[in-house]
Amino acid sequence: MTLTSTLRDAAFRWIADDPDPASRDELQGVVARALGGEPGAADELADRMAGPLEFGTAGLRGPVRAGPNGMNVAVVTRTTAGVATWLTAHGHTGALVVVGRDARHGSAEFAAAAAEVLTAAGFTVQVMPGPLPTPLLAYAVKHLGGVAGIQITASHNPPADNGYKLYDATGGQIVPPSDGEIERAIQAAPAAVSVPREPGATVADLRDAYLTEVAALPRGPERVVRVAATALHGVGADTLRAAFERAGFTDLHLVDAQATPDPDFPTVSFPNPEEPGATDLLLALASAVDADLAVALDPDADRCALGVRERDGSWRMLRGDETGALLGSHILATLSTVDQPDPLVATTIVSSSLLGEIAKAAGARYAETLTGFKWLVRAGDGLVFAYEEALGLCVNPGFVRDKDGIAAAVLAASLAATLKAAGRTPLDVLDELAERHGVHVTDQVSLRVTDLSVRGRLMGKLREAPPAEVGGVAVTLEDLLPDADVLRLTGEGVRIVVRPSGTEPKLKAYLQVVEPVAGSLPESRAAAGKRLTSLRTDVEALLS
């Protein structure tokens, strides 16, 4: 495209209103290249000016770059001004807000800007003492009685990204209508250069209090277990090591090449434990040290993936649904009925339904929510465990109302130690659950789009003409509108959930097959795998 006067003038206005010299220089450089006719420069400028980044229940997330459609000091400044207005409108003038951050590019500057805007707006602000796991921020909000918490993090996004996650007075992530109210307040905020900023935040170091609570999570006396772990270049290594030591687990081996925070994530192309290759170094270490369990945290340590040794000696990472079943069954089998007479476990509508069967057998309540921990932690009273298939685990809802990879890793180590003492492994538990409740296998089909309107057209097509049969099974359609833009197709032993992704340009379909174990478990698993393959083929055709 060619540079238009409208685009040029919008860029110059943004530059004039940007309080950060580095960002001003960066955007001026793009404008200069566009004015000089450099190929692609006008397109880049148009993309940078296509914002602002949309503020939703997941906050903000985007590439670190100058312009309204990126994460930068100006965007964070205006966003925080909107948050301050929202808090004031809800009667929280002068109350406590906690600010934390990870170690990504820009995180220190963004956290400082947020703290200074809130201080200038009259709030009491406490900041975390350096880059720390997101669960510590969630803990701090609840522990200190804050009215909000801001964590600067892009979680497991690619290295170029950063983000802004907001917690409310419950210690959980915000839910509607708060996101819409904040978005409107951001739109009404003045230019970033005109937003007042003042130093004055104090430091809140709650690591010791948090670790004390995490150390009380193990269920049983066993502590002999060897664990290999990785922080994937994120901020979790030191806290994980301290948590294991405090809980009494002393045989922890970290992937050295990934233990120090590094915003460039040099050993992984995509710092997400779910991505192919991301845990290669971890599994190699687990094999080398003869570990009993492998643990992968994502960069901000709110997610936790587990790896186990197969019976042939090889290692593999468990799927999120397998981990959820393992830890959920462990918690229900070991909880105190005196302390928790009416326990509740929860997962999301796209996760495996196995947890529901486990809860039924244990006499516990079970709930399914919309996707996201903002909903899971609000599933109901008596919540003792919640998980989502994307490696989110909350084993400690009493003191962290969000997913917590550190706490989940400690509980997983406790389970592995208990099993080891009995001569058993996590795979034995998964086999027993399958034999008792049927083989539950899950998969996902993702369609990446460059035009977001494609997702809406495909969802509309499915609503207007839903398939009568998928994977050889008759199915019926359930539309979750207006509560959520989600379609659910169900049939005998089959479930498909289709929804647009909330964080990526994708349309996702979550597949599940349930196969009763009538004969041998290997035969039932093979039958379930065959049915899942057939289901996947049909769903891929539906979304093509």
Q: Which residues are catalytic?
A: 155
Contacts of residue 241, Cβ cutoff 8 Å, sequence gap at least 6: 252, 254
CB 369 within 8 A of CB 378: yes
Contacts of residue 497, Cβ cutoff 8 Å, sequence gap at least 6: 349, 350, 486, 487, 488, 489, 509, 510
**Encoded tokens for 14:** 């943004």
- Amino acid identity, position 258: Q
- Amino acid identity, position 121: A
Alpha-carbon Rg for the chain in angstroms: 24
Q: How far is the C-alpha of 69 from the C-alpha of 65, rounded, in Å?
A: 8
Spell out a b/e string for 333-370, using b for 16 or more CB atoms within 10 Å of the CB, else e: eebeeeeeeebbbbbbbbbbbbbbbbbeebebbbbbbb
Distance of CA 92 to the CA centre of its chain: 28
Distance of CA 404 to the CA centre of its chain: 10
Q: How far is the C-alpha of 508 from the C-alpha of 55, rounded, in Å?
A: 21
**Encoded tokens for 28:** 């001026």
Q: How far is the C-alpha of 325 from the C-alpha of 387, rounded, in Å?
A: 9
Query: Using CB atoms within 10 A of its CB, is residue 260 exposed (0-12), middle (13-18) or buried (19+)?
Result: middle
Q: How far is the C-alpha of 102 from the C-alpha of 298, rounded, in Å?
A: 11
Q: How far is the C-alpha of 293 from the C-alpha of 252, rounded, in Å?
A: 10
Helix ranges, 363-404 (H) = 373-376
Q: How far is the C-alpha of 292 from the C-alpha of 145, rounded, in Å?
A: 39
Contacts of residue 416, Cβ cutoff 8 Å, sequence gap at least 6: 225, 227, 292, 293, 426
Residue 438 region, left (φ>0) first, then alpha (ψ -120 to 50), else beta? Answer: left
Helix ranges, 36-177 (H) = 41-48, 73-89, 107-120, 134-144
